[in-house]
Amino acid sequence: MSKRHENKVAFITGGGSGIGRETARRLADEGAKLIVTDVNLPAAEETVSLIEQAGGEGVAVQMDVRDREQIVAAAAAGVRRFGAIHLLINNAGVVTGHSLADLTEEAWDFVLDINLKGQFLVAQEVSKRIAAAGGGAIVNLSTVEALVVVTSGSTAQPHYNASKGGVPMLTKALAVELADQGIRVNCVAPGPIATDFFDLEGVTSQEAMDYMGQRLLVRRIGQPSDIASAVSWLLSDEASWVDGIQLPVDGGWLTR
């Protein structure tokens, strides 16, 4: 495995599960030291334990992306431990199964606060640390659902679509604002990925597989490692001329 993130420190949100955990492990395998944050501390600790078992270094910090004080404290704890922060992955995200008719304001606020406001708050605080370290890169997690509506059974999720639709524009705005500080900002738009986020039983039903079979050109469900590879590349110097984009990693979902 190439050590392209040697001497880099990465701060990840929602690092206790799925795409976040796999991305943290990948970056650690490639030489980065990891500040693994999650609202679920035992899950973040488990990720750090997996990193350490593979010979890497990490620290687990409990942090809710909706809470500025916790974000400031997590960044400070990371800098105390590893000296600096160069890379940020804004990964934490949630969804609830609501269509327009039964979508409550509470569910709207819950999803928007974590998926969109959370990325803003974390970027605002952690980019100060990246700038202080002389620059670096940020990757935000979007989804194909930022661009097209995907129904789960008969239920679309307007609040999820709205929250993720904001991510590519937030990404562009941050790329413009942070360019002078040597910070590139991009986002990745995954297609369906096998994680806890998904109701795996529903997703593997024949009806769901038939639907996905019509959409996916690469005929398999995505794996967290598919997304970790793209995030790692965008964070690396190999992508040093890539800024402000949304990269779909979706098995061809958006192609037709």
Ligand X SMILES: NC(=O)c1ccc[n+]([C@@H]2O[C@H](COP(=O)([O-])OP(=O)(O)OC[C@H]3O[C@@H](n4cnc5c(N)ncnc54)[C@H](O)[C@@H]3O)[C@@H](O)[C@H]2O)c1
The residue among 181 and 229 lying less far from ligand X, judged by its C-beta, is 229
Nearer to ligand X, 32 or 144 (CB): 144
CA 4/CA 184 separation, integer angstroms: 17
DSSP annotation of 155 reads B
3-class SS letters over 88-108:
EEECCCCCCCCCHHHCCHHHH
The residues assigned a catalytic role are 160
How far is residue 130's CA from residue 178's CA, in Å, rounded to a whole number?
A: 10
**Which C-beta is closer to ligand X: that of 19 or that of 175?**
19
Angle at the Cα of 108 from the Cα atoms of 106 and 113, rounded to 5 degrees: 95
Q: Can you give the binding site for ligand X, defined by CB under 6 A? A: 13-14, 16-20, 38-40, 43, 64-66, 91-94, 114, 141, 143, 190, 192-193, 195-198
Question: Which residues face 87 on adjacent strands?
Answer: 10, 137
Nearer to ligand X, 124 or 179 (CB): 124
- Both structure tokens of 61: 């910090």
Report yes or no: 29 and 35 within 8 Å, Cβ to Cβ.
no
| Neighbour tally for 178: CB within 10 Å | 21
Question: 175 Cβ partners below 8 Å, 6+ apart?
Answer: 184, 185, 186, 243, 244
Which of 88, 89, 107 lies closest to 98 in space, CA to CA?
A: 107
Find the angle CA(44)-CA(45)-CA(47) to the nearest 5 degrees: 65
Q: How far is the CB of 168 from ligand X (least distance, A)?
A: 13
Q: At its nearest, how many Å lie between ligand X and the CB of residue 180? A: 28
Q: How far is the CB of 90 from ligand X (least distance, A)?
A: 8
**C-alpha neighbours within 13 Å on the C-beta side of residue 75:** 24
Residue 14 or 166 having the CB closest to ligand X:
14
The label of the residue with tokens 């593979």 reads 54
In whole angstroms, how close is the CB of 140 to ligand X at the nearest point?
9
With respect to ligand X, which residue has the nearer C-beta, 115 or 127? 115
